[in-house]
Structure 1
C-alpha cells in the first residue's frame, strides 16, 4: 500500500511538473536563450493556422498511428489493425499520464489482448519485439540527425564535422551489432562475450550473455520472419511524425531547412525518454526551442510555437484519443459479457437408448 501511494504521489508530482514546464515555457526559453517570448506572441501564431493546415496535420497524425499498428500486428500474429490501433492509443494515454507508465502499459496490454483471446507467451513476445524496435530506432535517430546536418554542410568547422561522423557511424555500428545479434547465432555469441567482459570489468553480478540468449530465444521466430516489415513500419511511423514537425515549422514560420528539421525531430524523440515527466513533456519542448534558436537562428516565438504545436500532436491529443479507445474497448467487453450471459445453455443431446 505504501508503494502504491508513493507511485501515485510521484506520478502526480511528475504530471504537475510537466504542466508547470509548459505553462512557464516562455520564461524558461528566455532564461535558456536570453530571447524574450510571450504567450501573446505564441497565441498570434496559433491564430494564423488555416483549416487546411490543421486538416493536413490531422491526416498525418492518423497516418502515423496507422503505420505503428503494423509494428504491433507484426509483433503479434493474429492481431488486426483496429485492435492494434486501440492497443497503441490506450497504452500511449497511460504512458503520457504517468512518468513510469511502462508497467501500467504492459498490464493494460495484457488485459486487452487476453480479452481478445491471445495467450500470455505471444503477448510477452509482442511486448519484447515492439520494445526492441522502438529502442533501436530511438538510437538510430540521433545518428540520422547528425548525418543530415553534416551532409548539408552545417558543421561549424572540420574538427566538429569529423567528430560528428565518428559519433554517427559509431551509433549506427552499435545498432547494427545489436540487430545482427538478434538475427544470427554467431553475432550473438560474440556480443554476449563482449557484454560479459564489460560486466566483469564493472564488477556486476549479472550474466549478460544469458540474458541475451533468453531474449533471442523468446523473439527469434518473429525477428527472423518479420524484421523487414517491423523496420518499414517504424520508418513510416517516424516519417509521418517528422512530416508533422515540418508542417508545424512552416505553419509558424520557423522552418530552418531540411537537414535542420531532421535534427530537431531526432532531438525531440530522444527527449521523450526523459523520465522526469511523462513522455518528457515540457522537457522536449524546451530542448527543441533551444536547438532551433541557438543552433539554427530561428526566432524565439516561432520556435516555441512549433515545439508546443508538435507536442500537441505527439503527446496531448493521444490522451483523450487513448481514453476514447480504452472506453470503447471496455464497453464492447461488457456488452459481449452480457450477451454471453444471456445466451441459453446449449442443449445436451440424450445418449441413444
Structure 2
C-alpha cells in the first residue's frame, strides 16, 4: 500500500465498484426481494421532498458533525471544537474516497495536528482512544438494534429470538471485558494472562512471544487509560449524541419517503447500516450499505421504492456530502496554514530604505 500507483489503482477500482453497485441497485434489489423497482419510481420519491424537509435534514446533519467534535476534544485535550470539526471533515473526506481510507485519515490527522502544535504522543493516544470508542459502539449498535426488535411487535421466529438474545449477551460481555481492560490495571493483567494462555495453544511456528500479547495490551492500556479515566463521560456522551443524530437523519429520510415502519424497525435498520459501512471492498461500504438497508426495510414492511429512496438519501447525508464538505475544510486548513507560514517569513525580511 506504500506504492502510490497501487493506492490509485485500488481507489479507482473500489470507487468504480461502489458506483456500479449504486447504478445497478434496482436490479440487485429485485434479485433480493423479488419486487420491481426502477430509477424513475425512486426519482419520484425524491421529487416529493420539500425544502423544509431538506432544511431539517441539513440541520440534523450539521448537528451530528458538531456532536462528534466532543469525542475528539475529549480524546485530545486543548483541541478546539472548530479544529475537531476540521479534523473530522478532512478525515471523512479522505476515508470516503479510499478503500482503506482509515490509514490515510490518520496520516491527515497527524499532519493537521502537527501544524497546530500538538505533540505526536498526544495525537497517537487520541487516535487510539477515539478509534476504540468508535469500535466499542460499533459492537453495541447491533445489540441495541436486536433488543429494539425483540421488544417490538415484529414477528420473529422463536429460534431467531433465542439466537438474538445470545448474540446480545455475547456482544455486551465482549464490550464489558474490553472496557474493563482499558480502565482497570487488574482487569488488563487478567486479560493479558488469558490471551497468553490461548496463544500457547497455537502451533510453535506461528506462536507469538510468550508475553507479547500481554505486553501489547498493557502498552495500549497504559497509553489510553489516563484519557479514558478522566474523559470517558465526554467520549461516551459525544458518541451517543452523534449516533442518535445520525439515526434521526435516517428517521427523517424514512418519513420523507414513506418508508417508516416503526421506532424499533428504524433503530434496527440504522444499526445494520452502520455495521455495513465497515465493508472494506468499497469506501465506507458505499453501495453495500444501501442494498443491505433496503433489504431490512423491505423485510420490516416498507415499500421497496420508498425504502430504496430512503437508503440512498441516508447514504447521501452520511457519505456523499462529506466528501465536498471535507474538501472545503481541507482547503481552508491548507490556506490558513500557508498564510501562517508566510507571516513569519515576511517578518524576517529586511526593511528596505
Q: Shift of the alpha carbon at 1:194?
A: 2.1
Counterpart in the other structure of 2:197: 197
Q: Shift of the alpha carbon at 1:158?
A: 2.7
Counterpart in the other structure of 2:13: 13
1:319 to 315, 323, 333: 323
Counterpart in the other structure of 2:220: 215
Matches within 5 A, 1:90-105: 90-105=90-105
Counterpart in the other structure of 2:335: 331
2:245 aligned with 1:240, yes or no?
yes
Paired with 2:254 and 2:331, the residues of 1 have a C-alpha distance of 34
Deviates further, 162-171 or 252-261: 162-171
Deviates further, 272-281 or 98-107: 98-107
Paired with 2:2 and 2:161, the residues of 1 have a C-alpha distance of 52
Give the aligned CA root-mean-square deviation in angstroms.
1.6
Counterpart in the other structure of 1:341: 345
Secondary structure, aligned partner of 2:3? helix
Counterpart in the other structure of 2:58: 58
Cα deviation code 1:207-234 (max 9, x no counterpart)? 3211110101111110110011101100
Paired with 1:22 and 1:159, the residues of 2 have a C-alpha distance of 34
2:91 aligned with 1:86, yes or no?
no
Paired with 2:111 and 2:19, the residues of 1 have a C-alpha distance of 30
8 Å contact kept, 1:196–1:209: yes
Counterpart in the other structure of 1:349: none
Q: Shift of the alpha carbon at 1:155?
A: 4.8
Counterpart in the other structure of 2:169: 169
Cα distance change on mapping 1:334 and 1:173 into 2, 3 Å: same
Paired residues, what number? Answer: 346
Cα deviation code 1:301-320 (max 9, x no counterpart)? 00100110000000000000
8 Å contact kept, 1:155–1:161: no
Cα distance change on mapping 1:180 and 1:23 into 2, 3 Å: same
2:87 aligned with 1:48, yes or no?
no
Paired with 2:124 and 2:300, the residues of 1 have a C-alpha distance of 43
Paired with 1:215 and 1:277, the residues of 2 have a C-alpha distance of 29
TM-score, with length taken from structure 2: 0.95
Q: Shift of the alpha carbon at 1:153?
A: 4.0
Paired with 2:214 and 2:140, the residues of 1 have a C-alpha distance of 23
2:274 aligned with 1:272, yes or no?
no
Counterpart in the other structure of 2:148: 148
For structure 2, the residue ranges without an aligned partner over 5 or more in a row are none
Cα deviation code 1:237-267 (max 9, x no counterpart)? 0000000000100000000100000000000
Q: Shift of the alpha carbon at 1:344?
A: 4.0
Cα deviation code 1:65-94 (max 9, x no counterpart)? 000001111110010000000000000000
TM-score, with length taken from structure 1: 0.95
Q: Shift of the alpha carbon at 1:2?
A: 8.1
Cα deviation code 1:254-295 (max 9, x no counterpart)? 0010000000000000000000000000000010011111x2
Q: Shift of the alpha carbon at 1:181?
A: 0.8
8 Å contact kept, 1:149–1:155: no
Secondary structure, aligned partner of 1:343? helix
Cα deviation code 1:71-121 (max 9, x no counterpart)? 111110010000000000000000000010112111110110000011110
Q: Shift of the alpha carbon at 1:197?
A: 2.6
Paired with 1:69 and 1:191, the residues of 2 have a C-alpha distance of 32
2:236 aligned with 1:231, yes or no?
yes
Paired with 1:2 and 1:180, the residues of 2 have a C-alpha distance of 36
Deviates further, 116-125 or 189-198: 189-198
Q: Shift of the alpha carbon at 1:202?
A: 3.9
Cα deviation code 1:153-202 (max 9, x no counterpart)? 42523332222111111101110111011001111112112222333334
Paired with 1:120 and 1:244, the residues of 2 have a C-alpha distance of 35
For structure 1, the residue ranges without an aligned partner over 5 or more in a row are 347-353
Q: Shift of the alpha carbon at 1:3?
A: 2.8
